[in-house]
Amino acid sequence: MNSQAEEHGHHISKQFNAELEDVKNHMMEMGGAVEKQLNDALASVVNADSGLGSRIVKEDDEIDAMELKIDEEASLILARRQPAASDLRLVLAIIKTVRDLERIGDESAKIAKMGIKLSEEREFPEGFVEFKHLGESVTTLVSQALDAFARYDAEAALAVAQGDADVDKEYRSATRSMITYMMEDPRSISRVLNLLWALRALERIGDHAKNIAEHVIYLVKGMDVRHENLDSLAYQIVDAE
Amino acid sequence: MNSQAEEHGHHISKQFNAELEDVKNHMMEMGGAVEKQLNDALASVVNADSGLGSRIVKEDDEIDAMELKIDEEASLILARRQPAASDLRLVLAIIKTVRDLERIGDESAKIAKMGIKLSEEREFPEGFVEFKHLGESVTTLVSQALDAFARYDAEAALAVAQGDADVDKEYRSATRSMITYMMEDPRSISRVLNLLWALRALERIGDHAKNIAEHVIYLVKGMDVRHENLDSLAYQIVDAE
């Protein structure tokens, strides 16, 4: 290769790396926006703030627009740059992760809608403790999954997958409490059902955080760990080092 | 190009087309397996067949394995063949669709679990009519979405997106009936809740059918129509012809 061609190749690869950096940064920005939506949705329920709830429902459109934009950027990189190996894995992991982020935004909007409904009937306080607690666990999980992606940290991602199993346990116990509340006071059924849907949305968000963690492990380790048992997964990740 | 190179190029492109055909066929096979899971899950609830329910839960692992295999095939095509334009869109649409199919399998397994629980308590028949009816609507939607993909038919895909709006309406009305049943007979709460979860799973399956339809429109028309309003979508699809 002559030096001009070399310079040209170097230039292309610098530009390619900049494009990859860009799309990853846009995904992280979307992650930040989704985290904010989730935090606000939790606050709208806990503080019975229907104004905040309505704003979250509206802002879900912006999250949707971010998903489309990043998905298009990533598809363009595939078409123009034809990345291979770890670059290809990064682009595919981004395409999958933005879809999970969009779903977290969706579920947050659902929680906010429940917040608006719940703000109209404050006389029954049962269930808020369970909701607040599960909300905190799930928020932590989402934030850890995004951090693991930012730092390409497969072990931190594995911890997220393990954390989701605890969230599922907590969710089942909260559901049982709700059923007890409904049976004890049938007048509360329709209100407690709203809390049940909000708890279900939180449980889903935990699943999406786990999905993101699996995309990180695929990206870093090059292995697809979806549907794997957690113990064998921990073994594989340590083993692959 | 000399004739040898031409023949070589021709050979490569034939092989590439065969690979694309293969991965699409594997996706359609997975679609068939998922449709069967859904139909069996509905039957396990309606006939209170706990044996069938258990088998569905087990077979969900096979669906998961199909997803991983097809996803890997598609990623390999991206890495080796570096497809462009409509070939790239096909591969990306397949990657996204198998994820929706896997989720439909998951939701079917959840319905089957509810079927196992419900088979233990047959004394309250309320809610089965609503469940059966919604189940039929959703099954049709999934099958139409897969047909639209097989035939690259954007207009049929649009009809699926519109059908999902009807499913959502039907789901909301069924939910209201369940709440009435619970209020009328608080002893039925825990049983009716199981039916509510099963209805929710059906509504989710409708969403995934809609997602698949959107992947078909993206594939055929080259435009991303997620989060679009249905009326403007119909206009664009006709307009783009």
Contact list in A for residue B99 (CB cut-off 8 A) is 96, 99
H/E run at residue B209: helix B189-221
Of chain B, the percentage scoring pLDDT greater than 70 comes to: 93
User: For B185, which residue in chain A has the nearest alpha carbon?
Assistant: A186
Q: Which pLDDT does position A238 carry in this prediction?
A: 58
Q: Which pLDDT does position B108 carry in this prediction?
A: 97
Contact list in B for residue A79 (CB cut-off 8 A) is 84-85, 88
Q: Encode A170-185: b = buried (16+ Cβ within 10 Å), e = exposed.
A: bbeebbebbeebbbee
Q: Which of A30-44, A206-220, B79-93, B130-144 has the lowest mean pLDDT?
A: B79-93
Where do the H-state alpha helices sit in A82-188? 85-119, 128-150, 154-184
pLDDT reading at B220 higher than 90: yes
Residue found by looking up tokens 């206009």 in the block? B235
Q: How large is the angle between the packed helices B189-221 and B128-150, nearest 10 degrees?
A: 20
Residue found by looking up tokens 């233990």 in the block? B120
A96 sits in the region (left: phi over 0; alpha: psi -120 to 50; else beta) called alpha
pLDDT reading at B2 higher than 90: no
pLDDT band at B48 (very low <50, low <70, confident <90, very high): confident
pLDDT reading at A230 higher than 80: no
Distance, CA of A240 to CA of B10 (rounded, Å) = 40
Distance, CA of A57 to CA of A200 (rounded, Å) = 18
pLDDT band at B13 (very low <50, low <70, confident <90, very high): confident
User: For B81, which residue in chain A has the nearest alpha carbon?
Assistant: A82
Q: Give this prediction's pTM.
A: 0.87
pLDDT reading at A217 higher than 60: yes
Which one of A190-194, A230-234, B216-220 scores highest in mean pLDDT?
A: B216-220
Q: Is the alpha carbon torsion for A123, A125, A127, A132 positive or negative?
A: positive
Q: Which pLDDT does position A63 carry in this prediction?
A: 95
Contact list in A for residue B92 (CB cut-off 8 A) is 75, 78, 95
pLDDT reading at B99 higher than 80: yes
pLDDT reading at B234 higher than 60: yes
Q: Which pLDDT does position A120 carry in this prediction?
A: 78
User: For B99, which residue in chain A has the nearest alpha carbon?
Assistant: A96
CA distances from B148 to B40, B155, B240 (A): 23, 8, 18
Distance, CA of A205 to CA of B238 (rounded, Å) = 37
Residue found by looking up tokens 């002559």 in the block? A2
H/E run at residue B146: helix B128-150
Q: Which of A7-21, B203-217, B219-233 has the lowest mean pLDDT?
A: B219-233
CATH number (domain holding residue B59): 1.20.58.220
Which residues 6+ apart lie within 8 Å of B98 measured at CB?
B27, B30, B66, B67, B70, B71, B74
* Cross-chain residue pair A96–B99, CB shorter than 8 Å: yes
- If DSSP codes are grouped into helix, strand and coil, which group holds residue A217? helix
Determine the residue type at A17: N
pLDDT reading at B169 higher than 80: yes
* Cross-chain residue pair A84–B85, CB shorter than 8 Å: no
**Mean pLDDT score of chain B:** 89
pLDDT digits (tens, 9 = 90+) for B102-120: 999 999 999 999 888 887 7
Distance, CA of A163 to CA of A145 (rounded, Å) = 10
This model of the complex carries an ipTM of: 0.81
Which domain covers residue B7, as residue numbers?
3-237
| DSSP assigned state of A187 | G
Cβ–Cβ < 8 Å for A106, A59: no
In this structure, what token pair is assigned to residue A20?
A: 């990859």
In this structure, what token pair is assigned to residue A184?
A: 């004890």
Cβ–Cβ < 8 Å for B181, B127: yes
pLDDT band at B240 (very low <50, low <70, confident <90, very high): very low
Which residues 6+ apart lie within 8 Å of B158 measured at CB?
B213, B217, B233, B234, B237
For B124, phi then psi, to 5°, come to -105, 110
pLDDT band at A14 (very low <50, low <70, confident <90, very high): confident
A82 sits in the region (left: phi over 0; alpha: psi -120 to 50; else beta) called left
In this predicted model, which residue has the larger pLDDT, A6 or B61? Answer: B61
How many structural domains does chain A have?
1
Cβ–Cβ < 8 Å for A63, A30: yes
Cβ–Cβ < 8 Å for B44, B60: no
Q: Which pLDDT does position B241 carry in this prediction?
A: 43
In this predicted model, which residue has the larger pLDDT, A124 or B58? Answer: B58
Q: Which pLDDT does position B200 carry in this prediction?
A: 93
Q: Which pLDDT does position A28 carry in this prediction?
A: 98
pLDDT digits (tens, 9 = 90+) for A126-157: 788 899 999 999 999 999 999 999 999 999 99
Q: Which pLDDT does position B82 carry in this prediction?
A: 86
pLDDT band at B9 (very low <50, low <70, confident <90, very high): confident
**Mean pLDDT score of chain A:** 89
Q: Which pLDDT does position B85 carry in this prediction?
A: 85
Contact list in A for residue B200 (CB cut-off 8 A) is 200
* Cross-chain residue pair A224–B92, CB shorter than 8 Å: no
User: For A226, which residue in chain B has the nearest alpha carbon?
Assistant: B68
pLDDT reading at B144 higher than 50: yes
Q: Which pLDDT does position B231 carry in this prediction?
A: 72
Contact list in A for residue B183 (CB cut-off 8 A) is 186, 189-190
In this structure, what token pair is assigned to residue B114?
A: 């509810």
The residue-averaged pLDDT of A70-97 equals: 92
